[in-house]
């Protein structure tokens, strides 16, 4: 009877202990869940601030988050990096991105894209050095992201500041990956102009010819002009077969009336020196047919060449 009474006394006490522990556990889990939810909400708010270019509020929210938590999740470091890029504070951005990549390599492409996008933005508003630094960092971090438009921008920036060699390098890299036909056409034209400035007629002609193979036919006059200069250079260097080949290719293109006389006369000179007498005569005759547009001096030279080759000229 006594044992039964003791069991009756213990049973309520056990229930009481269980009931007091359960609420405490639930409170702990609730606090943990609330804390995690607050972190996610803060980071979502920071994302919205970034979309609205509100970098100051975004940084303030992240700093408050840092004060409340000893360790930040990878996403917070990613957002910190983007915020500091927005503030043009590249050292701090690099610090957070480095910590992020040590925690999670899966963010590598995202970090590279953040640098690329910010670099393009800075380049468009004239922040040349910061823009180039961001774009070069993007290239260093990940070779997997699409940098084609960024390369075009780098070409433009280096051209603006007179660094022609680097500009040519990045325009060529852009053309290795650009897909859009219009952008490719504009990039070819920029590249060709720079090659012309650099004074290598061979590079300028070959680039123009590559553009023509992509059907950018508005470059025809430039193609003929660069072909003329390249063939003239080859003639002076005594590379007659190559010069003749270039002129043959140029003569297959509909020629501008302003270029036809010079091109045909040069073709005659090359063929003459290369031993192709009939081909030379044919080219000199074409110059005479263009007497309306050709200069008197050039017409007279063509007449003299034909006379030298034993052909009577009226």
Whole-prediction pTM: 0.77
Which pair of structure tokens corresponds to residue 195? 């090659």
Say what the pLDDT of residue 187 is: 96
Residues 258-309 have pLDDT tens digits of 678 899 999 999 999 999 999 999 999 999 887 666 688 888 999 999 999 9
**199-314: same fold as 36-145?**
yes
Helix, strand, coil tally for the chain in percent (to 5): 80, 0, 20
So where are the chain's domains?
36-145, 147-198, 199-314
pLDDT band at 118 (very low <50, low <70, confident <90, very high): very high
| Mean pLDDT in residue range 212-234 | 92
Does residue 23 surpass a pLDDT of 60?
A: no
Count of residues in the chain: 314
DSSP 138-187: HHHH-SSS--HHHHHHHHHHHHHTT-HHHHHHHHHHHHTT---HHHHHHH
The fold of 36-145 is 1.25.40
Phi first, then psi, for residue 37 (nearest 5°) are -65, -40
* Nearest CA among 271, 306, 270 for reference residue 289: 306
pLDDT band at 36 (very low <50, low <70, confident <90, very high): low
Nearest-angstrom CA–CA distance, 130 and 118: 9
Domain 199-314 has CATH 1.25.40.10: yes
């Amino acid at each position: 009877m006594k044992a039964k009474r003791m069991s009756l006394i213990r049973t309520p006490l056990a229930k009481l202990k269980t009931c007091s522990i359960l609420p405490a556990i639930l409170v702990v889990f609730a606090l943990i869940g609330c804390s995690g939810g607050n972190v996610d909400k803060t980071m979502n708010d920071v994302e919205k601030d970034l979309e609205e270019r509100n970098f100051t509020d975004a940084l303030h929210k992240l700093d408050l988050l840092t004060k409340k938590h000893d360790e930040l999740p990878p996403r917070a470091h990613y957002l910190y990096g983007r915020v500091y890029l927005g503030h043009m504070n590249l050292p701090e951005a690099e610090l957070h991105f480095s910590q992020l990549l040590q925690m999670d390599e899966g963010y590598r492409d995202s970090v590279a894209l953040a640098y690329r996008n910010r670099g393009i933005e800075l380049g468009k508003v004239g922040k040349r050095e910061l823009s180039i630094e961001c774009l070069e960092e993007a290239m260093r971090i990940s070779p997997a992201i699409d940098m084609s438009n960024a390369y075009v921008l780098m070409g433009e920036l280096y051209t603006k500041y007179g660094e022609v060699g680097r500009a040519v390098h990045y325009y060529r890299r852009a053309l290795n990956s650009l897909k859009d036909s219009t952008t490719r056409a504009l990039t070819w034209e920029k590249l060709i102009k720079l090659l012309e400035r650099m004074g290598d007629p061979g590079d300028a002609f070959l680039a123009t010819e590559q553009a023509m193979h992509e059907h950018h036919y508005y470059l025809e006059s430039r193609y003929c002009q660069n072909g003329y200069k390249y063939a003239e250079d080859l003639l002076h260097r005594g590379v007659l077969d190559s010069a003749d080949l270039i002129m043959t290719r140029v003569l297959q293109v509909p020629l501008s009336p302003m270029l036809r006389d010079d091109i045909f006369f040069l073709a005659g000179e090359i063929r003459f020196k290369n031993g192709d007498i009939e081909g030379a005569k044919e080219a000199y005759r074409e110059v005479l047919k263009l007497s309306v547009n050709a200069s008197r001096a050039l017409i007279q030279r063509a007449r003299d060449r034909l006379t030298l080759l034993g052909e009577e000229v009226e």
